[in-house]
Amino acid sequence: MPEYKIVWFPEFVMNNGQPVELTQTSAQVNQWAAAGWRVHQVVPGTNAQTYGGLFVTFVHD
C-alpha cells in the first residue's frame, strides 16, 4: 500500500515574468527522491501564511 507525505517548502519567489529556478526546493525534493519518494503533486500556497511556497505531496510504494 502506498504511503503519502505532504511537505511544505517555504521558498518565496518574486515573479518577473521569467522562469525562476527554486534551488532550495529542488535540492530538498532531490533528497526525498534519493530516499525512494516520488513527487505525486505540487500545489502553491494560497493564503496569507502559505502564499510564499509550495505544498509537495510525495508517495512511496
Rounded distance between C-alpha atoms, residue 59 and residue 9, angstroms: 16
Distances (CA, A) of 2 to 14, 33, 48, 55, 58: 35, 15, 32, 19, 10
Burial class (CB in 10 A: 0-12, 13-18, 19+), 9: middle
Domain span including residue 56: 3-60
pLDDT band at 13 (very low <50, low <70, confident <90, very high): confident
Q: What average pLDDT does range 6-20 have in this prediction?
A: 87
Strand partners, 37: none
The count of domains in the chain is 1
Cell readout for 12 is 518565496
What pTM does this model have? 0.85
